[in-house]
């Protein structure tokens, strides 16, 4: 069996997606997600101009060798664009191998270690009443764990608030699901750490008051705090027993989490912007985090994330794979297959995709009683309707960025 065709398909049903479609001499088709939000075309070029010529005529069954070849022969390693390109090839090869072997990918990865994947949903509100309604709504949708994002007084726009879509002139848009704005320039937002740190503990007190002590609650600080501010927030939230506090501080400097860990027992999740095991190495070895947020699409594929999670298992650190709508249905399927097979599964992020996206990508996963399951179709279990994809050409879009009151650029 040889790879005969390699197509890089860009479509923008509800948002931009980049998908690699490999076709073999035996007629097997493999799909891989290569979507990097706001920088999609960079991966398209990396794949089309540099990787595709290397795949044609190669043996699709050699997944590990192909991974090592693409990672080492490039000479220039790591980074979001390179690792998303390698991830797409890797996912497509696992998809092909599952179809050739006549089984779903999770069976190739060692079989199911659980009946389904606990997943969390995204409740949010500019004000408390809206937030409490959103929590109730997600409980009724079957979520057994819920992320809490709240507006902050005097801040116009903040990450993670669904209803802010209307403020950006698109009432249909769930801003927490899709923060990237179509347009020629990124949207500027405002940020004030003191206002946020003062406001958030009261929000969790109210949510616990309303929904009790046992509902698993998560929060995403979205990289905006210094290590000592993150330490303070973690401590202030301890009484509300969070499932996790996510991306509490930018973690290029992995040492930063040591200061946070010294001051709080609130569980910490990090890594959605990471691309290799090296970004996690010290954080895992020194027990500075509890959940690995890496996504299959951004961590170099199933092959690489599986190794990172096996390393994490040695330190009892669990998976918490990134699963926003900018991870395509193919990337989500890959996350579910890996999550079903590994032992140290923690939780899966789950943001349902839009109706147009569901027309372009036919998926077979199930959502039942708060658990996801990838389904038992062969391979990854996702197919791409190329004609439907062709109806939605790429549209430039950017993630917002932050400026402080004095005009300083700040982490978004």
Would you please indicate which residues are annotated as catalytic (active-site) residues?
A: 159, 222
Nearest to 21 by CA among 6, 10, 34: 6
Site size toward Mg ion (CB under 5 A) is 2
Q: Is 290 in the site for ligand CS2 (CB under 6 A)?
A: no
Partner from ligand CS2, Mg ion, none binding residue 179, C-beta < 5-8 Å depending on class: ligand CS2
Residue 192, binding choice from ligand CS2, Mg ion, none, Cβ under 5 to 8 Å by partner class: none
Q: State how far the alpha carbon of 9 is from the alpha carbons of 20, 26, 270, 293, 363, in Å.
A: 6, 21, 30, 26, 17
DSSP class of residue 39 equals -
Directed axis angle between helix 80-101 and helix 63-72, to 10°?
170
Which is closer to ligand CS2, CB of 282 or CB of 411? 411
Q: State the nearest-atom distance from the C-beta of 323 to Mg ion, in Å.
A: 10
Nearer to ligand CS2, 82 or 297 (CB): 297
Q: How far is the CB of 86 from ligand CS2 (least distance, A)?
A: 19
Among 14, 220, 279, 377, binds ligand CS2 (CB under 6 A): 220
Q: Which residue has the tokens 């190495």?
A: 281
Residues whose CB is less than 8 angstroms from the CB of residue 224 and which lie 6 or more positions away in sequence, other chains included: 191, 193, 196, 402, 410, 411, 412
> Segment 291-330, which members bind ligand CS2 (CB under 6 A)?
322, 324, 326
What backbone torsions phi and psi does residue 280 show, to the nearest 5 degrees? -105, -15
d(CA 230, CA 250): 10
Binding to ligand CS2, residues 233-272 (CB under 6 A): 272
Among 172-180, 265-273, 380-388, 395-403, the segment contacting Mg ion (CB under 5 A) = 265-273
Residues 6+ apart with CB under 8 A from 293: 246, 247, 269, 270, 271, 272, 274, 320, 321, 322
Q: How many residues bind ligand CS2 (CB under 6 A)?
A: 10
Contact between 175 and 161 (Cβ < 8 Å): yes
Nearest distance, CB of residue 167 and Mg ion, angstroms: 21
Residues in contact with Mg ion, shown as a per-residue x/- string from 267 to 296 under the rule CB under 5 A: -----x------------------------
Residue 319 C-beta: closest distance to ligand CS2, Å: 14
Interaction pattern, residues 35-74, with ligand CS2; x per rule: CB under 6 A: --x-------------------------------------
Strands 409-410 and 401-403: antiparallel
Sites for ligand CS2 among residues 80-139 (CB under 6 A): none
Residue least distant from Mg ion (Cβ):
220
Per-residue binding letters, 163-202, with ligand CS2 (x by CB under 6 A): ----------------x-----------------------
The residue nearest ligand CS2 at its CB is 37
| Partner touching 377 among Mg ion, ligand CS2, none, CB below 5 to 8 Å by kind | none
Long-range contacts of 135-142 (CB under 8 A, 24+ apart): 135/207, 135/210, 135/211, 139/211, 139/215, 142/367, 142/368, 142/369, 142/370
326 binds, among ligand CS2, Mg ion, none (CB under 5 to 8 A by kind): ligand CS2
Close Cβ partners of 37 (under 8 Å, ≥ 6 residues apart): 16, 180, 326, 397, 399
> Between residue 203 and residue 222, which ones bind Mg ion under the rule CB under 5 A?
220
| Pick 160 or 379: Cβ nearer ligand CS2 | 160
Distance separating alpha carbons of residues 402 and 82, to the nearest angstrom: 26
Three-state secondary structure call for residue 236:
helix
Kindly state the smallest distance separating residue 36's Cβ from ligand CS2, in Å. 8
Which 89-148 positions form the footprint of Mg ion (CB under 5 A)?
A: none
Task: Name the residue with tokens 């992320």.
Answer: 147
Phi, psi dihedral angles at 265 (to 5 degrees): -100, 5
Residues that bind Mg ion (CB under 5 A): 220, 272
User: What does the binding site for ligand CS2 look like in residue numbers (CB under 6 A)?
Assistant: 37, 179, 220, 222, 272, 322, 324, 326, 349, 399
């Amino acid at each position: 069996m040889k790879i005969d065709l390699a197509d890089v398909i860009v479509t923008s049903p509800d948002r931009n997606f980049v998908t690699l479609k490999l076709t073999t001499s035996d007629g097997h088709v493999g799909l891989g997600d290569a979507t990097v939000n706001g920088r999609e075309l960079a991966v398209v070029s990396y794949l089309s101009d540099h990787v595709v010529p290397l795949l044609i005529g190669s043996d699709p069954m050699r997944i590990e060798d192909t991974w090592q070849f693409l990672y080492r022969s490039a000479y220039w390693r790591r980074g979001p664009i390179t690792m998303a390109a390698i991830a797409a090839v890797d996912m497509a090869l696992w998809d092909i191998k599952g179809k050739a072997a006549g089984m779903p990918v999770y069976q190739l990865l060692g079989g199911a270690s659980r009946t389904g994947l606990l997943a969390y949903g995204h409740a949010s509100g500019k004000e408390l009443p809206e937030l409490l309604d959103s929590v109730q709504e997600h409980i009724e949708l079957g979520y057994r764990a819920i992320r809490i994002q709240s507006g902050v007084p005097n801040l116009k726009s903040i990450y993670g608030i669904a209803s802010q879509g209307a403020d950006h002139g698109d009432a249909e848009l769930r801003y927490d699901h899709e923060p990237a704005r179509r347009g020629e320039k990124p949207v500027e937002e405002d940020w004030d750490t003191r206002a946020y740190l003062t406001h958030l503990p009261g929000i969790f007190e109210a949510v616990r008051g309303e929904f009790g002590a046992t509902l698993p609650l998560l929060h995403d600080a979205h990289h905006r705090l210094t290590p000592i501010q993150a330490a303070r927030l973690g401590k202030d939230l301890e009484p509300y027993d969070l499932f996790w506090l996510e991306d509490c501080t930018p973690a290029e400097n992995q040492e930063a989490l040591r200061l946070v860990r010294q001051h709080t027992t609130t569980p910490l999740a990090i890594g959605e912007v990471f691309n290799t095991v090296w970004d996690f190495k010290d954080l895992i070895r020194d027990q500075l985090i509890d959940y690995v947020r890496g996504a299959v699409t951004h961590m170099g594929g199933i092959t690489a994330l599986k190794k990172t999670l096996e390393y994490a298992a040695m330190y009892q650190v669990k998976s918490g794979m990134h699963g926003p709508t900018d991870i395509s249905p193919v990337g989500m399927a890959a996350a579910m297959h890996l999550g079903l097979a590994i032992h140290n599964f923690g939780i899966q992020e789950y943001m349902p995709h839009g109706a147009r996206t569901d027309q372009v990508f036919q998926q077979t996963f199930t959502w039942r009683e708060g658990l996801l399951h990838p389904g038992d179709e062969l391979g990854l279990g996702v197919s791409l309707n190329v004609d439907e994809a062709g109806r939605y050409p790429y549209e430039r879009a950017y993630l917002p960025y932050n400026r402080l009151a004095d005009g300083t650029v700040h982490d978004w």
